[in-house]
Chains A and B, each alone.
Chain A
């Protein structure tokens, strides 16, 4: 025998450790592919920004979805699965979400409440600006824009 292990015969292929390794790899790949699926609103086609930073999931936030209606050439706002056509109603919803969110304790270093705008890439800047105005009227100055890293 070339190896010089001292034992008798050739070492056998061990199946049990291989299964352990396989299962660990399987769990790893399953976790990274399914982590992002839950919160994505399929009706909003996010714009592309390959250099954007990783999403901070620890902060208390209100998510404003800006859905673009191509036929009517206007946008609808969705907060907590409720659709708003007017910015006045949107402001009330964002203010209510801010009061609810500020009472929660956040684990992040910067616990300021923020608004995350998930705008459709086809929407015009005017509708995004209106969503920002609603956040400003609710007293939120920290705004984040959502984007995807690839098509």
Chain B
């Protein structure tokens, strides 16, 4: 049996003005929709880690590892061991990422740590350094040091 609608029931003098659940649900739905849309576009602050050199213990035996050097030029060009990688306009650096992934895999198989030093020119954009660090993060290289080539006085 269909119940009569209470919302539009205005007949009679005794109108019950109690707590209305339907408008509350409407409002909650709208607020939830707002936060759901906002959740998709939320910017999350993340981090890329690096370690400064110079804290090595000298009392024990020291393993010599192959150091890979990545140079970043002022125009955005990236070189790995003096070999040009990708174009200056490429943000995701696929060639560098692939090469670093291969180096990391080889290092893991040989049980030697992969050590990478990122050397940027002083006037190169910092965002380019972050592009390279992001590429290192994709390759899974954790021993990363960042430095700037001879700074101008």
The reply to whether B50 and A143 contact each other, CB–CB distance below 8 Å, is: yes
- Among candidates B38, B51, B91, B131, residue contacting A33 with C-beta atoms closer than 8 Å: B38
A side interface size, CB within 8 A = 52
B residues lining the A interface (CB < 8 Å): 21, 24-25, 28-29, 31-32, 35-36, 38-39, 41-52, 54-55, 72, 91, 120-131, 133-134, 137-138, 146-148, 151-152
Contact check, B48 vs A52: say whether CB atoms are below 8 A apart: yes
Q: Are B43 and A52 in contact (CB under 8 A)?
A: no
Residue pair B52, A36 in contact (C-beta under 8 Å):
no
Find out whether the CB atom of A15 lies under 8 angstroms from the CB atom of B21: yes
Contact (Cβ within 8 A) A125 B126: yes
**Contact B130–A22 (Cβ < 8 Å):** no
Given that A125-B72, A129-B148, A132-B146 are contacting pairs, would A55 and B45 also be in contact in the complex, using a CB cutoff of 8 Å? yes
Instruction: Summarize A's interface: helix, strand, loop or mixed.
Output: mixed
Within the complex, the shortest CB–CB distance from A43 to chain B, in Å, comes to 15
> A52 to B46, Cβ gap below 8 A?
yes
Within 8 Å CB of A142, what residues of B?
49, 51-52
> Are A51 and B123 interface neighbours, CB within 8 A?
no
Min CB distance A60 to B, Å, is 15
Q: Does chain B have a CB within 8 A of A109?
A: no
Cβ–Cβ < 8 Å partners of A40 in chain B: 45
A56 to chain B, nearest CB (A): 7
Q: A19-B25, A29-B36 are in contact. Are A51 and B134 (CB under 8 A)?
A: yes
Residues on A with beta carbons closer than 8 Å to the beta carbon of B125: 121-125
Name which residue of chain A comes closest to B124, CB basis. A125
Contacting residues, chain B, for A47 (C-beta < 8 A): 126-127, 130-131
